[in-house]
């Protein structure tokens, strides 16, 4: 039985009887939010709670590096369309009706789904982000939150967007919550002007915070060459966007020169295989070439209206099998790389000491209980990547606090009920 007091507190916790990297292990969290010991047996401890894994597999919490958390409200609202038609006829007209309350409940639903499926950190791009921050704060998860700038080449809009961006970053910083990091997000080159891109790049540099942008999801190069005389990646570089703070989602259409520039500037590329296949963007992120060039590649689900879930286990498996299939080579992205792409590579891009279960790392840990899809345990990483659904996660710990145990997340029912009501009401208003 779950002790009700176990939830939400960063206190000393001993995790017993788990398998870590195919070996029996115990893990001690000393109540600071960090992992303080990993050993076969830990006897010297002051644990307030002991979690018996009953043979569960311990994994680092998943790091979802590209999503739009409130978009869960539009899950299943509009499917089976091409990207631009989907955005311009269905998504953007509905988003025009979003209220702060909608954003809050949409983000609550996303946090619930992520905790349920083993994600402990997400990198989010959306609007009215202080409402997302409130949801993140309450849920106990970790996130980098960015306001999405869209100026459409209009100078007056550019100025008002900059002001919203500054206010958002200031509000997120004022929360003083170590789990909440601010970022900046120019949406994409086709929605943000040169002055917008330049301003975001400079703001990200002076604030020293991540810059999160959509890059080459569909082939943006022909239009970019027509408008600016160069491909998308050199254009972004020309605008000052490419740096070690840059987190570029999708990156399906990068060529060898683009990849070399990403490597030189230390940009992180985020693979979004499910969304890319569903929207049929035409090409898979060139992972083999990126790996050879030393580009940091992370993983994301994209929003739950193009995925349609936030399960990073499904995403890991899809990434690994899409990469093999698209590049016609079964040795591409083996299981241990898929797990790194889904956890520590994202953590690294956000400057977090996470994604690895070892002393000194953040206590962001998940447990996958024994279930029919992880027996036999010849290789727990293989089982995690190729056989496990996120719903098989039964314990999620973030910053040393238990957010889910034995599949239980306090308050889950209310979130399901409220977010369902809010979603139907949003669509009713938007289609009235
Ligand atoms: C943050 C902004 O990005 C939009 N958005 C959601 N999914 C995608 C996608 N696959 N490509 C581009 N933009 C997207 C959201 O609908 C919102 O307008
Ligand atoms: Zn996106």
Q: pLDDT tens-digit profile of 301-312?
A: 999 999 999 999
Say how far apart CA 384 and CA 36 lie, in whole Å.
24
Residues 17 and 87 in one domain: no
End position of a domain, from candidates 309, 331, 349:
349
Count the domains in the chain.
Answer: 2
Q: In this structure, are 91 and 108 located in the same domain? A: yes
Q: How confident is the model at residue 4 (pLDDT cuts 50, 70, 90)?
A: low
Does pLDDT of 42 surpass 80?
yes
Tokens of 404: 């889910």
364 and 345 within one domain: no
Residue 124 has, within 13 A of its CA and on its CB side, a CA count of 35
Lining ligand 1 with CB less than 6 A are 68, 83, 87, 91, 95, 125-126, 148, 187, 214, 217, 275, 302-303, 306
- Given a contact cutoff of 8 angstroms between Cβ atoms, the answer to whether 118 and 398 are in contact is no
On whether residue 419 sits in a domain, the answer given is no
Label residue 3 by pLDDT band (50, 70, 90).
low
Q: Give the ligand with the smallest distance to the CA of 248.
A: 2
CATH of the domain at 201: 3.20.20.140
Higher pLDDT, 96 or 1: 96
Residue pair 133/174 in contact by the 8 Å Cβ criterion: no
Same domain, 41 and 111: no
- Of ligand 1's listed atoms, the one at least distance from the Cα of 272 is 10
Q: Is residue 330 part of a domain?
A: yes
405 is in an annotated binding site: no
> For all residues of the chain together, what is the average pLDDT?
97
CA–CA gap between residue 73 and residue 90 (Å, rounded): 13
Q: Are residues 93 and 19 in the same domain?
A: no
Same domain, 280 and 397: no
State the average pLDDT over residues 327-355. Answer: 98
Confidence of residue 1 (pLDDT cuts 50, 70, 90): very low
Token pair, residue 12, equals 């000393």
Cis peptide before 308 (omega within 30 of 0): yes
The two most distant CA atoms of the chain are separated, in Å, by 67
> Is position 100 annotated in a ligand binding site?
no
Shared domain for 35 and 112, answered yes or no, is no
Distance from residue 124's CA to the centre of ligand 2 (Å): 9
- Both 184 and 282 in one domain: the answer is yes
pLDDT at 119 over 90: yes
| Last residue of one domain, picked from the residues 326, 349, 372 | 349
> What is the Å distance from ligand 2's center to 249 Cα?
7
Work out the angle between the directed axes of helices 312-326 and 335-342 (0-180°, nearest 10). Answer: 130
From 192, 281, 303, 305, the mutation candidate for ligand 1 (largest count of ligand atoms within 8 A of CB) is 303
Q: How far is the CA of 416 from the centre of ligand 2 (A)?
A: 24
The domain boundary residue, chosen from 349, 374, 391: 349
Statement to judge: residues 88 and 141 lie in one domain: yes
Give the CATH number, domain containing residue 370: 2.30.40.10
The ligand that comes nearest to the alpha carbon of residue 302 is 2
97 appears as a binding residue in the annotation? no
Domain with 373, as residue range(s), is 4-60+357-412
ipTM, 2 dp? 0.99
Query: 227 pLDDT exceeds 80?
Result: yes
pLDDT digits (tens, 9 = 90+) for 343-368: 999 999 999 999 999 999 999 999 99
Q: Is the pLDDT of residue 287 over 80?
A: yes
């Amino acid at each position: 039985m779950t002790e009700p007091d176990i939830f939400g507190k960063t206190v000393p916790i001993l995790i017993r009887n788990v398998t870590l990297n195919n070996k029996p292990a115990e893990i001690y969290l000393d109540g600071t939010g960090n992992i303080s010991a990993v050993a076969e047996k830990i006897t010297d401890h002051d644990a307030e709670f002991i979690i018996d894994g009953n043979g569960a597999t311990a994994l680092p919490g998943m790091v979802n590096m590209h999503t739009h958390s409130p978009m869960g409200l539009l899950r299943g609202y509009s499917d089976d369309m091409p990207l631009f038609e989907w955005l311009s006829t269905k998504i953007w007209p509905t988003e025009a009706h979003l209220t702060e309350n909608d954003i809050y409940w949409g983000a609550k639903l996303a946090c619930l789904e992520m905790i349920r499926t083993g994600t402990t950190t997400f990198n989010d791009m959306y609007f009215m982000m202080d409402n997302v921050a409130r949801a993140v704060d309450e849920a106990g998860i970790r996130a980098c939150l960015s306001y999405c700038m869209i100026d459409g080449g209009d100078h007056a809009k550019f100025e008002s967007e900059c002001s919203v961006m500054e206010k958002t970053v200031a509000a997120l910083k004022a929360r003083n919550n170590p789990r909440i990091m601010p970022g900046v997000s120019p949406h994409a080159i086709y929605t943000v002007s040169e002055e917008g891109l330049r301003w975001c790049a400079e703001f990200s540099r002076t604030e020293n915070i991540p810059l999160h942008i959509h890059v080459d999801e569909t082939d943006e190069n022909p239009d970019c060459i027509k408008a600016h005389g160069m491909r998308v990646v050199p254009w972004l570089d020309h605008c000052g966007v490419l740096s070690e703070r840059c987190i570029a989602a999708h990156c399906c259409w990068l060529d060898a020169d683009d990849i070399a520039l990403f490597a030189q500037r230390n940009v992180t590329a985020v693979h979004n295989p499910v969304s890319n296949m569903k929207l049929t963007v035409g090409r898979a992120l060139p992972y083999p070439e990126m790996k050879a060039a030393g580009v940091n590649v992370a993983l994301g689900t994209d929003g739950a209206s193009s995925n349609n879930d936030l399960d990073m286990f499904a995403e890991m498996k899809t990434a690994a099998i899409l990469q093999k299939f698209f590049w016609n080579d079964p040795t591409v992205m083996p299981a241990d790389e898929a797990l790194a792409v889904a956890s520590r590579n994202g953590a690294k891009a956000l400057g977090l000491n996470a994604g690895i279960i070892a002393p000194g790392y953040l206590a962001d840990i998940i447990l996958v209980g024994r279930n029919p899809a992880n027996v036999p345990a010849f290789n727990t990483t293989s089982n995690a990547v190729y056989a496990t659904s996120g719903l098989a996660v039964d314990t999620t710990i973030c910053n040393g606090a238990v957010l889910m145990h034995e599949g239980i997340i306090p308050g889950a029912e209310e979130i399901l009920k409220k977010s369902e009501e809010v979603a139907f009401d949003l669509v009713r208003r938007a289609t009235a």
